[in-house]
Structures are given as structure tokens and as C-alpha cells.
Structure 1
Amino acid sequence: MIKSRKVWVGLGAAVLVGTGIGTEATAQPLTRGIEQAAPGDASARQDLVLRVAGSHAGHAAAGEGEGEGGGAELAPDLRLTRDLALISGHLAVGNELVEAGRWSEATVHFLHPAEELYGDIAGDLKSFGIPPFSAALKALAQTVKAKKKDAYEGALKTVRERLAAADAAVKAKTADWPGLTLEAVLEVLNTAGEEYEAAIENGKFKLVVEYQDSRGFVLQAEKMLAAVAPDLEKKNAEAYAALQHEIAELKKAWPSVTAPKKPVLDVSQVLGHIARAEIEIGKLM
């Protein structure tokens, strides 16, 4: 799976260069991030440029806008696992906001799964024999809009149970669940990087929702890795430790659910950590 993904990403990079997608402002953070990921190694930097830039080109070609959803080029099990993770990421950051009493801010994060993601996974849910849960998502969003704490807790529990059951259904039909999880983690991290970049304008967070989205996605990626940790440590303990380190460093970009006045890490640093995480994920495949 990972090999075919890299081939597609390389083609995406060619499209990026050939069609002029992107701007100098976009290219500079990407390049700086790559140099941080592989200092002094021209060959490694070139490979990472192809993969990271290609990922951005692929998202643009797919018309993904903010980076969520899409992914027609992905295998169905990977696409579904990624999208279920993105939904969980929205719920994670939304729940943080609810717990902080910021119900109005939380509402958008509970609306996104139903409005931006669920339509893309409905067909895959059916293919994997997973019962639909759009009604549960909408009910959850309604409890947040109404600021009904008791109803919210029950609705959140229901959605989380449905997501866990969906993951279990995919796992049951997957020969290499740790490998699929790693690929999905990488997709989630790439999406987080895009959302983080979209949040920043002139060195400040202008789109706080995107900052929060990216935080939720990184937290979910960390949770996914922890769930398969024994398998990954058994396969390559050194690579897994290095991957954990990159995730820990990456998380510093989101010191809290509320955005700081200015970024703790700039876009190039965030993309650099994601690029280095991809190197370690490759060692674990």
C-alpha cells in the first residue's frame, strides 16, 4: 500500500510543477520544512520534496479545499479509516471546547463531520457492512448547539461507540491492521499540516477553526499509534521511538485548544516534523 501511495504522490509533484499550482509563498515553507527534515542530505530532501509537494498537488487536483475528505486515489479501507479518524479528530477538539465551556466554538467541530465528511464515507460504510450513523452525528451536533450537557454526553458516547464499531469492521477485513493504521496516520497528519497552514496569515492565526481542526487531527493520530504500539515496537522499536518523538515535537504547535497570539511553530517546522514522521513510518511498514 505505502509503495503505491508514494508512486501516486510522485506523479502529483510532477503535476504541481507542470501546472504551476501553488505560489512562492507556499513553496517556501515546504522547502524549509524539507531541509529541516533531512539536513545536509540532498537525496533525502529531494525525495521528501516530491512526497510532500505531491501530497499538496493531489489534494488540489481532487478539489479538496481545506484538505478534508476526497482521496479517490486511496484504497477503500485506507480512505475509510482516514475519514473515520478525521471525524474522531473533530470530536476530540470539539469536546475540549465543550469542557472549557466554549459551546459556540465547539458547534462547528460537531457540524463538520456530518456536513463535510459523512457524505464521502456513506458508500464505503455500506461496502464494509457498517450501519449508517449520520443521524447520531446530527443528534450530537444538535445537543451542542442547544448547550444541553446531559444530552451531549450521551450523544457523544453513542457516536464514539459507532466509530469504534466501524473501525472494528474495517480491521476484521484487513490483513495488516498496524500497516493500515500507519498509512491512515500519515494521511491524517498531512491533513493536519494543511489545516495548520490554512489557519495562518501574516504570521498570525486568522482562521482559528483550522488551528483547532489540525490540533484534533494530531491528537487522533497519536491515539491511533498508541493503539497499535505493541506491534510497532516489536517490528522496529527504534523507528517507533523516533516517530513518537516527532509527534511529541509536532504537538508543540498546539499548546492549547485556544490559539496562541502567534504560532509556536511556523508552517515549515510543522511540515518538517510531518516529513520526518513519514520517514519513520516508512521504516515501520
Structure 2
Amino acid sequence: MATRMKLWVGIGACVLVGTGQTAAADASDPFQPVTTATSTQLLAHGGEGSEGGETSHGGEGGEASHGGEGGEAGHGGEGGEGGEAGALSHLGGGEGGEGGEGSASAPAAVNSPGVYYATLLFMKGHLWVAEELYTSGNTEIGSAHMGHPYAEHFDSVEDALEERGVTGIHDALEHLAEEAGSQPDWSALEPAYQEAQSAIDRAIASLDPSLREDPDFIADVALGVLRKAAHEYEEAISDGEFVNVVEYHDGRGFAHVTRKLLEDHADVLKAADADTYETLLADVDRILEAWPSAMPPEKPAVSTSELAGNVSRFELHANNL
């Protein structure tokens, strides 16, 4: 496969709270809506990624390994191939530089177009699943996801937005979180929701057109978001049971926006290799089998190891572009 942008992102810490009870957040804080725990739920996300080096092209990698000579981090904990840093480790900085070979540092989105794009897609993933939950009657947990783009991801792209001259996204995301906190009818919330989506789209449009027309760049970003989705799924499960409903939702949202990413860039990907494009769509559909419904099933439909294998299959096929 052609040389690829390599970049790193930081990983956020997660806090598990509540078992089978309603966990109340400060009603004055619209970014921590009350959610009702049907099982153990994650209500608080935290931790900012550390800043690191600048983006560069290159890095040696073998088949099914998009990235630096140092190889992929292992699956699992913070910094491994699962958290945000690990999910995008195949896109790190150049060899020998900060964020490059052997480095665990994470460059800011201001220095890394792939980190920037992936972070905006994480925002969209939260919004995708928030709408699904909200409109299906799960308004409490749906309202929580409405606040996550602002609470979890805005800080990491703020400098990049400023440098690119993108305005309005802060106010749009903050307004949506505030509106969702009162849990109005969807018809009343939808204008704020669409405003937030449009603001994210404007931020995406600020990417260099040459990158948005680069099949390798699109495939690499897609792979990173899928790795993050798989990590969220893993975090949702313990001893073969779903114990963290919100992480299940995060993974579902991230996987769905990855499919839309491929569809949105269909012309670019088909021009590179039409058969591979269709294969990648099929791979994502197989990955989506881990999330068969908006709310978690009684038992996981797919094991964490099987899901990891499906993501690796996507990676392998993406190398054919």
C-alpha cells in the first residue's frame, strides 16, 4: 500500500459508576445528564491526550500493518491498540521524531490531519447513536451522548479549529448539550442537533482537499475509528456480560460513522480499487454484527477476539487500495 500519514492521539480515562440504579449528576451541569443504569454504566469520561510531534509520511510496515517500523501496540489498556492513542498508532509521526517509531506520545490534532479527522468522526459517532437512542424512547441515555462531543472531544481539536479558521463548533456543541439536558421532544431538540452536525461538517471541510481525495488517508482514518469502536466494545464487556452500556453505544456509533465515511468517499475508493471498496464495506458490515441493536443484547453477539480479527481483516484488505 502507498505510504501513509502516521499520527498519534491521546487516550482518555473512563470511570465506571453505578450498578442497577439511577445515577444522578449535578442538574446544573448540562454536560453530565442523569442516566438510568440498567446495568453497570459509564457516566464519566475523562483524560486528555498528551501532545506530541508533527505529522509526517512514511514508516516501514509489512502486510496488514499500516504504519511505523515499531509495529502495533497490543490490544487492551491505555496506550495499547484500543484507546485513542493505540487506535491511531498506525498513523503516528515519522520515524525517529516525536510521535514516531517507538514513541508513545500523541501529537495534537493541530499537527495531525488524521487525528483531527478521526476526532471529528468520534463526535459524529456520539451524535449518530444519540439520535438513535433519543428517537427510540431512550431519551435519558440519548441526552448523555448529545453532550459527549463537547465534553470529550472539543478540547483536543480546539487549537486545530482555531488555526484552520473554523468557527461556530464550540457554541453549537455546547448549545446541543444544554438543550439535551432538559430532554425535550425530539422535534424541539432537532434544530440544535442539526446545527451541531453542520458545524462538524464545516470543520471536516477544512481538511486539505488532497487528503480527502487520498484513498490511503481515508482508509487509515477508517481503520483508526474502527479500532476505537472495537476498544469501546471490549470495555463494555466483562466475563462474557455487558457491564457498560454507554461504551457499547460509543462503539456502535463509531462503527456506523465509519461505514458512512467509506460511502461518502466511494468515488475516491472505487477509483483506487472498486473490488476492494466493496470488500471493505462487507468487512464493516461484519464488524457491525457486534452491535445488533441500539441497546445491548442479553449476551454479546460477537466475542472481543472475533471483533478484533474482523478489524484486522479490514486492515488487510485496505492494503489493496
Distance 1:161 1:207, change over 3 A: same
Q: 1:59 aligns with which of 64, 79, 86?
A: 79
2:116 paired residue among 77, 80, 87 = 80
Under a length normalisation based on structure 2, what TM-score does the superposition of the two structures give? 0.69
| TM-score of the pair, normalised by structure 1 | 0.77
CA contact (8 A) 1:62 1:71 kept: no
Q: Which structure's residues are more often helix, by fraction?
A: 1
Bigger relative contact order, structure 1 or 2 (CA pairs below 8 A, ≥6 apart): 1
Provide structure 1 residue ranges, at least 5 long, that are not aligned to the other structure. Answer: 9-42
Deviates more, 1:115-124 or 1:100-109: 100-109
Conserved in 2, the CA contact under 8 Å of 1:103 and 1:145? no
Take 1:176 and 1:56, find their aligned partners in 2: how far apart are those partners? Answer: 32
- What aligned pairs does 1:6-21 form with structure 2 within 5 A after superposition? none
How has the CA–CA distance of structure 1 residues 140 and 179 changed in structure 2, closer, same or farther, with 3 Å as cutoff?
A: same
Structure-2 residue corresponding to 1:251: 288
The one-letter code sitting in structure 2 at the alignment partner of 1:59 is G
Is 1:211–2:231 an aligned residue pair?
no
Give 1:260's aligned amino acid. P
Per-residue deviation, residues 43-88 of structure 1 (Å, max 9, x unmatched): 968999x8554575783599869979x9428752111100000000
Matched, 1:185 2:222: yes
Q: In 2, distance between residues paired with 1:282 and 1:162?
A: 32
Q: Relative to 1, partners in 2 of residues 1:201 and 1:220: Cα closer, same or farther, differing over 3 Å?
A: same
Number of the residue aligned with 2:197: 160
Determine the C-alpha separation between the residues in 2 that align with 1:97 and 1:262. 20
Query: Is the contact between residue 67 and residue 195 of structure 1 (CA under 8 Å) also seen in structure 2?
Result: no
Look up the equivalent residue of 1:5 and give its one-letter code: K
Determine the structure 2 residue equivalent to 1:128. 164
SS at 1:88's partner residue? helix
In structure 2, what is the Cα distance between the partners aligned to 1:235 and 1:66? 27
Secondary structure of the residue aligned to 1:265 is coil
- Please list every run of 5 or more consecutive structure 2 residues that lacks an aligned counterpart in the other structure: 9-61, 89-104
Flag the 1:241–1:46 CA change in 2: closer, same or farther, 3 A: closer
Give me the CA root mean square deviation: 3.2
**Which amino acid is 1:245 matched to?**
A
Match in the other structure for 1:37: none
Instruction: Give the total of aligned pairs.
Output: 247
Match of 1:137 in 2: 173
Residue 175 of structure 1: how far off its partner (Å) = 6.9
Tell me which protein shows more strand as a share of its residues.
Answer: 2
Percent identity between matched residues is: 27
CA contact (8 A) 1:66 1:198 kept: no
Aligned to 2:300: 263
Separation in structure 2 between the aligned mates of residue 93 and residue 277 of structure 1, nearest angstrom? 22
Structure 1 match to 2:35: none
Preserved CA contact (<8 Å) 2:235 2:244: yes
Change (3 A) 1:274 1:66: closer
Q: Which amino acid aligns with 1:215?
A: R
Residue in 2 that maps onto 1:39: none
